[in-house]
Chain A
Amino acid sequence: MEFGPHLVLAILEGAVGAAVLALTALGLSLVFGVMRVVNVAHGEFFMLGAVMAWFVAAAIGGHPAVGFIAALVIAPLVAGVIAMAADWLVLKRVNYDPEATIVATIGLLYIMQQSALMLYGPEARPVEAPFNSRIALPWVEWGEAGLQLYYPWGFGTTSYKLFVIVAAVVLLLAFWAFLSRTRFGLVMRATQLDRETALAFGIPVETVYALVFGLGAALAALAAVLIVPIQQAHYLMGGDPLLLSFIVVIIGGLGSIRGTIVAALLIGMSDGVISVFFSPTLAKILATLLVALVLVFRPQGLYGKTAT
């Protein structure tokens, strides 16, 4: 394939990855920012979203769009409720102690993974996209008659992949508006700034924590519902998004929403472009190297604030 179309294809692939990664990592970053909890089970909420999407789509049947839209609503809700229950049952009991929550969420990870294995089974199952048609992309070249349009071999994408990119952008904007324009967003930011003072001002911090943990899980589940018509729901699918989310959150700065989104774009796009032109392994190596460099030279991350 020629360089130009090849590069555009790489960028498109990277953008789909970055879009889903931004949503997933945002959930992790949010939970850490507000609760100071490193949620190792975050990838499992992603998996839960995908698995729920399959259950919902299979139960509803009919036109794929109906099942998909239902999954978009139900899967994040279910993931959120389960996360809130986990917060109340587990995290609250260990007083949100940083070390204890890491161990507790590791436990949660295994419980969720094995439950999925028992209830859903070991196979990868597809959810049908609401719409999915191949879009052949044109390219320009200098021919005898000047600039000409033509359709290079293998150069295309699908309508659904474009939808994922747009949907993620819309969701990110909506989330930003929610955080900066609504009362609950304000309460969340207050809790993030100073837990004690927030408590003193009558903010029900424990309720906020439960809701934030649920919201973080719901974001991961939402990202999974978007990706599941492209990939498939599988009980082990939570590993990759967890690792990438950690990379993104460390590079972007723990708890910084803006940093998370910038880093997700950086990692997602570079992953797409480097894997297309060189190798996916090199992309992972570079991402990990970047994490190491950030930790050495800018431990607070790109947009993180230094501890005071």
Chain B
Amino acid sequence: MTSHRLTSRRSLLKGAAAGGLLAASPLAARFASAQSEPIRIGFQQHQTGIGAAYGRWYGRTTEAAVKAINDAGGINGRPVEIVAEDDGTDPKRGAEVIEKFATQHNCDIAFGTLFSHVVMGSAPAAGELKLPYFVVSEGHHVASGALNRWTLQPGITDVKSQVSSMAPWVTDTLGKKVTMVFPDYAFGHDHRDFFSAAVKAAGGDVVGLIPIPPTETTFTKYFPQIPRETEVLYHVMVGPAVLTFVKELGEFFGPSAPAIFGFIDSLEAVDLASPGLEFLDGTYFWEGNPRYAQADQSEYDKAFRAAVGVDDTGASTSDAKDVSTYAHMWGCWETLYIIKAAMEASGYAGPDDRQALVEAVEAMTDMPEGMEHPQGPKLFNGRTHQVFGRQYVSQAKEGRLVKVHATSIEDTLYPDEVDYTTMSF
């Protein structure tokens, strides 16, 4: 029995080897100074429901960003851990997920929501629970003042700035009489309201407005409402039926189509080379970030693609048919780096510092282009909790999207509608 207590040379060697391995492993070395309690980020992910394609790529981008952050030493010496929960792209479940993050998972913050109705449904819960809520949504609801001080959108630009900066280009280049086809809910209404206003301001005219229910599966029946005088058709659609939408649009017009300007949302996660989309050749798209690597591609975009696993055509490096939501998903990457910067600036140590974290984000302004901001430089407005950045117009040419116009950040600015910093926590 005593033999058990004896330490043989062999087991000693084993132990030493194991200890050596531990010491040599990058994690142990890098987080040695901290108590290595991870920072837990609740990731509200559209794993199922109409936002699932976005959710998948938001997930991959988030994983890649967290890996990069952890490889470089984590945040304040602590590793970052993502707690992903499926919200079903549903506002009610979204609110429940936020509550789970705060009460069950002990998350430090919540992050990652895209669809605007889920943001609208979840933000009040985040406000009540005093949980910093970083959305990556494009919706104008944050900057409009409809939400609360705990909800921020520092990593992706909003629809209002996108469309108002784009409208002058559309009316100057494509035509003055515009008909809009858009989804009939908050996100689409943002497009309708802000683009109409911007087109009028640019001397154009919106001659037709065609709202389409977000769960619609066939579209030809809506197109006869497009007025004959239309010079530019503006389309933005979301959900699983986007390919049907663009296909039927082409079938409706045949050879006599007006100029077409679409938001890439109508084609996110859809292969441009899909059969039936040939008519899109020569039409224009807004892109939040060019899906196809451009001639003037920055080194950061190159590194970002490599980190997430996306090739030069915007598809997964492991499956060319798996097309990414490239115009949106960079928002997750940039948001996570903003969270890192704000946690470091505020010396974030735990949930008691949540208020200081929000204040640290509010204090941010210029964000230079770099590995933290691969899409381009940004300007953050702490009062409205909204970030501003460049927008791109691309043209479909021979099955690729080629950048033809980029706005400046100044083009995308508009007067503040709210000052969240005057609200109490």
Interface residues of chain A, those whose CB is within 8 Å of chain B, are 1, 6, 9-10, 13, 17, 64, 117, 121-124, 126, 128-129, 132, 134, 136, 153-154, 156-158, 230-232, 234, 236-237, 240, 272, 275-276, 280-281
Contacts and interface: CB of A to CB of B under 8 A. Distances in A.
A240 B224 contact: no
B226 A154 contact: yes
Interface of B: 47-50, 52-53, 55-56, 213, 216-218, 220-224, 226, 228, 240-244, 250-254, 256, 269, 274-276
Contacts of A237: 217, 240
Given A231-B241, A234-B240, A153 B256 contact: yes
A122 B218 contact: no
A122 B48 contact: yes
Contact of B221 (A236, A240, A276): A276
B252 A154 contact: yes
A6 B227 CA distance: 13
A126 B254 contact: no
Listed from nearest, the 4 A-B pairs whose CB atoms lie closest are A122-B52, A124-B240, A1-B224, A234-B240
B240 A280 contact: no
Given A122-B48, A156-B251, A280 B56 contact: no
10 contacts: A64-B275, A121-B56, A122-B53, A124-B241, A126-B274, A132-B276, A154-B256, A156-B254, A236-B50, A276-B222
Contacts of B242: 124
Given A1-B224, A122-B55, A281-B213, A231 B47 contact: no
Interface centre among B53, B218, B220 (most CB of A within 10 A): B220
Contacts, number: 87
Given A122-B47, A134-B250, A154-B256, 10 more contacts: A1-B228, A6-B224, A123-B53, A134-B251, A134-B254, A136-B254, A154-B252, A154-B253, A234-B241, A237-B240
Contacts of A9: 220-221, 224
Given A123-B269, A234-B240, A13 B254 contact: no
Contacts of B50: 236
A13 B251 CA distance: 13
Nearest to B279: A134
Contact of B218 (A128, A231, A281): A231
Contacts of A136: 254
Contacts of B240: 123-124, 232, 234, 236-237
B49 A236 contact: yes
B56 to A, nearest CB: 7
B275 A126 contact: yes
Contacts of A158: 251
A272 B216 CA distance: 13
A154 B223 contact: yes
Contacts of A281: 213
A240 B48 CA distance: 17
Contact of B241 (A10, A122, A232, A276): A232
Contacts of B217: 231, 237, 240
B216 A280 contact: yes
Contacts of A275: 221-222
Contacts of B275: 64, 126, 128-129, 132
B221 A13 contact: yes
Contact of B243 (A121, A157, A232, A276): A232
Contacts of B49: 122, 236
A298 to B, nearest CB: 29
Contacts of A231: 217-218, 241, 244
Interface centre among A10, A154, A158, A281 (most CB of B within 10 A): A154
B408 to A, nearest CB: 35
Contacts of A236: 49-50, 240
Contacts of A157: 251
Contacts of B221: 9-10, 13, 272, 275-276, 280
A120 to B, nearest CB: 11
Contacts of B251: 134, 156-158
A276 B216 CA distance: 13
Interface centre among B52, B221, B240, B241 (most CB of A within 10 A): B221
A230 B218 contact: yes
Nearest to B242: A124
